[in-house]
Structure 1
């Protein structure tokens, strides 16, 4: 949770423990400390060292942005900076992202931030967006102030949702992913935004269906003005992020589930396209 400055370390630590559904004993074992010490930290009888905050944060899988909140609440300077993707120090990261986008061609790939705002996309991804209409016009319709949000684009009735022929089938997975990422972030702003997306996606009175027999992956079936495509996605993250930006970036790459979709992207003439 991105906490108000009035909350102290013990309040925030206790919140995260309960948020992760851990008992004091669970947290103590995961952080390799005594349960008594966890109790004293949460009641203010003991003050945490910087190293202890790191161990507790690891044990509770707290995102880097929220670790800074925890550190500052305990009176320490923030450990993690948030660097713009185009900053010189981020050059190796940007090179890696560009490499992934380029080498995933001719299939679509997106780089998104924690809100699912698109930061970068390859030409195949831009093609996919443009097939469904003018992305800028869609942004204006959805009221995103020029920000292309992949989640909103998917769930909005006037976005890509109108082309998804198996919407009822994939809806539970979309809602689960939004809820999961919302909870994992612990960020109130993300939780509020994703709650709006879930409300937009789910019909009134929606309840998650019982699990049926599942395919290895759930395809996204599209019919865009007669063009039928079937895709599934893989989401990747950085393995050892030390910056808030890299911690929060997601790489979503799309793959075909049938020959017709694969041939469409592989046969498309990107060289002569605008």
Structure 2
């Protein structure tokens, strides 16, 4: 079991005050939802009382705190982490890995990829690899690492990555930054999500783009990504899938992003690529 980070909070009382404030709950409301007295909750928040392990876990569930941060709260209260953090290569993760492989295969002929909580690439299907190789000028058989060394958000918004081919990168960038900002707020202070947000904001032009209102966002029910290179234009929208009822930090944080064509021309390109490979 990997230890949770202790960098978020110095003590349990600080953590509890933070998460209650983040969820916008009064002490009375939280005490009712957690089935404890408001007086005891007040003592917990001032450090006059210390929680038991079961109460820390209960408060974590009531406040809908991410599993990684529940481990951090347990450590702050003097307890061992409750939730394991396994790698995808762990034998215990075989069923999860098979499920992800199945979903990636079913997404074909359209791209799909699996990322961790910081949007580092860990799995992908062949259409996703084909699309990346095309826009990044890679050889048809060029290997693409699955070890998390590629950050999908940085790859998308970096001028040295996909951004030169992303026609509406300002609008896409603004939406992606909002997504990461929400995650950073949910992860707590000093989190890795906050550092990722800072790194994205430091990319050339991103901060300026994020401040510009996108007046065309209501034109469609979703914001498409428009990729253009060498006469090819792909208009795509994405969906995000997460795994239900997770009891492992890694499982809780994995997400599968699927790309779908937003028009007939884009759909035809993926269909034709599948036929050629078949």
Identify the TM-score tier after normalising by the shorter chain. 0.7 to 0.9
- Cα distance change on mapping 1:99 and 1:41 into 2, 3 Å: same
Flag the 1:31–1:215 CA change in 2: closer, same or farther, 3 A. Answer: farther
Partner of 2:206: 202
Contact residue 3 and residue 12 of structure 1 kept, 8 A: no
Query: 8 Å contact 2:173–2:209 — kept in the other structure?
Result: no
SS at match of 1:231: strand
Match of 2:238 among 229, 233, 238: 233
Partners of 1:2 and 1:126 lie apart in 2 by 33
Match of 1:178 in 2: 180
Map of 1:244 onto structure 2: 249
Cα deviation for residue 125 of structure 1 reads 0.4
Displacement of 1:75: 1.9
Q: TM-score, normalised by structure 1?
A: 0.87
Specify which of 53, 58, 71 is matched with residue 56 of structure 2.
53
CA distance 1:125–1:49, shift in 2 (3 Å): same
What is the total number of aligned residue pairs between the two structures? 265
- Separation in structure 2 between the aligned mates of residue 261 and residue 205 of structure 1, nearest angstrom: 26
Q: Greater shift after overlay, 85-94 or 214-223?
A: 214-223
CA separation of 1:110 and 1:5: change in aligned 2, threshold 3 A: closer
1:258 matched to 2:251? The reply is no
**Within-5 A mapping of 1:22-41:** 22-41=25-44
Deviation, 1:43, is: 1.5
Aligned to 1:188: 191
- What are structure 1's unaligned runs of at least 5 residues? 137-144
SS in 2 for 1:235: strand
Q: 1:227-264 CA deviation, whole Å, 9 max, x = no partner?
A: 10010000011111111110110110011110111111
How far does residue 159 in structure 1 lie from its aligned partner after superposition? Answer: 1.1
Cα root mean square deviation, aligned: 2.5
1:150 and 2:152 aligned: yes
Cα distance in 2 for residues equivalent to 1:54 and 1:173 = 33
Please state how far the C-alpha of 1:135 moved relative to its aligned partner: 6.1
- CA gap of 1:203–1:54, structure 2 versus 1, over 3 A, is closer
Q: Which residue of 1 aligns with 2:109?
A: 106
Name the SS for the 1:254 alignment partner: strand
Distance 2:173 2:157 in 1: 9
For each residue in 1:7-65, what CA deviation from the matched residue of structure 2 results, as whole angstroms up to 9, or x when unmatched?
12112222222333433234324423332221111112222122211221122221111
Question: Is the Cα contact below 8 Å between 1:109 and 1:124 reproduced in 2?
Answer: yes
For 2:218, which of 210, 213, 218 is the aligned residue?
213
Q: Do the aligned residues in 2 keep the contact of 1:65 with 1:244 (CA within 8 Å)?
A: yes
For residue 94 of structure 1, report the CA deviation from its aligned partner. 0.3
Query: Structure 1 runs of 4+ off > 6 angstroms?
Result: none
Question: Bigger CA drift: 13-22 or 216-225?
Answer: 13-22
| Inter-CA distance 207–254: structure 2 relative to 1 (3 Å threshold) | same
